Structure 1
Amino acid sequence: MSDHEIFELGDVVLQSGATLRGATLAYKTYGKLNGRKDNVIVYPTWYSGQHVNNEWLIGRGMALDPERYFIIIPNMLGNGLSTSPSNTPPPYDRARFPNVTLYDNVTLQHRLVTEKFGIERVALVTGWSMGAQQTFQWGCLYPDMVERIVPFCGSAKTSRHNFVFLEGVKAALTADDAFQGGWYEKLPQKGLRAMARVYAGWGFSQAFYREQLDIKRMGYASLEDFLVGFWEGLFLVRDPNNLLAMLWTWQRGDISANPVFNGNFEKALAAVKARAIVMPGQTDLYFPPEDSQYEVKHMPNAKFLPIPSIWGHFAGGPGTNPEDVKFLDNVLKELMRS
């Protein structure tokens, strides 16, 4: 049985000009919407993740407490549950799936929140990685609706260096002959395994590997065991075309690349009225703190607060290091008390 619901979007014209016919958003809610409809938290998903992969930050006594808040996790387009290459019928199926932007994702999530639930105020938007990018997008597109944002381990605009990292990931996946330009008859496992190993050098920091936390803290028997058991295992269960669709969204991530801001990045940042705590990972290799410092400088009500961790990008999720989870949860609690 499915553990999520489906919001029917109808025919959706994307920024690319393509029309997704019969588009859908998969979502899951936690807790109950109160009578004033002011206890709402929106918590978007991350690259390759689905709503279940966000649940580590939700729980009784935590900042995202379903006994106090109505938490909505909308699944990104392309993640296999919402409209994606893997579940779209021809002619926009598989390798023909159109390009999707942050703007496309968030405007459709806004429809879910307003049309399905009649919500006019959102107490908090938060998310990790690509979820953080969507968090920034929520903040600038709907400044009079969103009261607080906490993007963690993610940026409002994908840097050139981040773009290049993802080119390596993409090249490793698509080099497999079995990929067949996206029209594969069987999963290109060599490509997925190669992609995982490229990713492995970036997801955690140099200090993480130097301290052998894959062995000492995560329980793997050796570095090779970690590369196979954690990294290859993470990607082998993903659909390659879905991964590439979300990768395109990530590479072109820019909260100003839309008709509202017309590419003026500083104007988009300045539009965020919400109380914001921007939390990069101190040792994140592709969403570095320097990017967040620039963003905070141009936001009117934002605080820069790095996560003091050697777990790299995974300081922000998905619940990998208990100390980092506690740090993040405490920050969220303090903000929600304000």
Structure 2
Amino acid sequence: MSDYEIYPLGDVELQSGHILPNAFLAYKTYGTLNASRSNAIVYPTWFAGLHTDNEWLIGPGKALDPDKYFIIVPNMLGNGLSSSPSNTPAPFDRANFPLVTIYDNVRLQHQLVTQKFGISKLALVVGWSLGALQTFQWGASYPEMVERIAPFGGTAKTRPHAQVVFESLIAALQADSNWEAGDYSCPPAAGLSAMGRAYAPWGFSQAYYLEQLYQTEGYPTLKSYLEDYWDNVFFSFDANDLIAMLRTGIHGDISATPADNGRLEQALQRITAPALVMPGSTDLFFPPQDNAYEASLMPNAVFQPIESKWGHCFGIGANDPDSLVIDNYLKQFLR
């Protein structure tokens, strides 16, 4: 039995103009919605993440305490649970799945929140990595609804360097002879392994590797870490699903909407909710200086870098002490 629910969306017109038939969001909730419907938090997933991967930040005594809040975790489109290449019928299955943007994700999450649950105010939207991008989008698209946002480990727009890295991950996967233009009969295992190796130097920092911090996660040598962890990290995902999510990231831009038409500064200025912007100090995907610029344009933003040696993956590792720092900042912010 699955531990999540499905919200049907019907035929959805995407930002690209394509119609995605019988679309749906997979989501899970934690806690109870109060009578005034004022204790809801939205916590989107990220690239290659499922709702279960968000649970490190949810629990009694934590900032996202289900005894206090009603926490909605919508799965990002393309992750294999919500509408994705792997679960969409022809003609939009597999490599034919249309581009889904951050704007599409958030617009459909808004539909879930307002129509399914009747919620008109959100106490907080919080997210990491591409979840942070969705968090920024919530603040820009629905400023009257969102009371606070807390993006961490992600920017409001994917910069060219990160776009190149995402493209390199796709290229590594598609180099597998079994790729067959996305119409593979068996998973392109070599390509999935290559994608993991290509991601490894970007997911963590130089200091993480120099100081052998992977040993705290049970890998005695760099060789064992690369082979036993990274060579297998994407095997639980469908290859087309991974590419769909990466393309969402490549096109990530909260200003790529009808309201802002590419004017990032304008979109940032419309995020009027109090914002806690937390980059990782050694993040190679989304460096702190990009967040510093974005926060400077947001009327009520606090720029709070997290000093960490864990690179982009700060806070989410099983043995990463930065998770406690993030949780404490969120507790203060919610007060």
When normalised by structure 2's length, the TM-score is: 0.99
Distance 1:47 1:146 in 2: 23
Could you tell me which amino acid in structure 2 is paired with residue 323 of structure 1? P
Distance 1:185 1:97 in 2: 17
Counterpart position of 2:333? 335
Counterpart position of 2:117? 117
Deviation at 1:71, TM superposition (A): 0.1
Distance 2:236 2:118 in 1: 36
Distance 2:126 2:229 in 1: 26
Deviations 1:62-93 (A, max 9, x none): 00000000000000100000000000000000
Q: In 1, are the aligned partners of 2:315 and 2:324 still within 8 Å (CA)?
A: no
How do 1:171-250 and structure 2 match up within 5 A?
171-215=171-215, 217-250=216-249
Q: In 1, are the aligned partners of 2:315 and 2:321 still within 8 Å (CA)?
A: no
Distance 1:136 1:228 in 2: 35
Q: In 2, are the aligned partners of 1:59 and 1:65 still within 8 Å (CA)?
A: yes
Whether 1:256 and 2:255 are equivalent positions in the alignment is yes
SS in 2 for 1:178: coil
Counterpart position of 1:33? 33
Counterpart position of 1:290? 289
Deviation at 1:320, TM superposition (A): 3.3
Could you tell me which amino acid in structure 2 is paired with residue 83 of structure 1? S
Count of matched residue pairs? 335
SS in 1 for 2:305: coil
When normalised by structure 1's length, the TM-score is: 0.98
Q: In 1, are the aligned partners of 2:314 and 2:320 still within 8 Å (CA)?
A: no
SS in 2 for 1:151: strand
Counterpart position of 1:68? 68
Could you tell me which amino acid in structure 1 is paired with residue 79 of structure 2? N
Tell me whether 25-34 or 259-268 shows the greater mean CA deviation. Answer: 259-268
Counterpart position of 1:21? 21
Distance 2:315 2:199 in 1: 16
Distance 1:135 1:111 in 2: 15
Q: In 2, are the aligned partners of 1:51 and 1:75 still within 8 Å (CA)?
A: yes
Detail structure 1 runs of 4+ shifted over 6 Å in the superposition: none
Could you tell me which amino acid in structure 1 is paired with residue 272 of structure 2? K
Counterpart position of 1:88? 88
SS in 2 for 1:162: helix
SS in 2 for 1:127: strand
Distance 1:110 1:232 in 2: 36
Deviation at 1:233, TM superposition (A): 2.2
Distance 2:72 2:233 in 1: 24
Over aligned residues, Cα RMSD in angstroms? 0.8
Candidates 305, 309, 324, aligned match of 1:326: 324
Q: Which runs of 5+ in 2 are unaligned?
A: none
Distance 2:224 2:331 in 1: 37
Q: In 1, are the aligned partners of 2:100 and 2:248 still within 8 Å (CA)?
A: yes
Distance 1:122 1:187 in 2: 40
Q: In 2, are the aligned partners of 1:279 and 1:305 still within 8 Å (CA)?
A: yes
Q: How much identity, in percent, do the aligned residues show?
A: 59
Q: In 1, are the aligned partners of 2:124 and 2:146 still within 8 Å (CA)?
A: yes
Could you tell me which amino acid in structure 1 is paired with residue 292 of structure 2? Q
Q: Which runs of 5+ in 1 are unaligned?
A: none
Distance 2:133 2:173 in 1: 24
Distance 1:236 1:214 in 2: 20
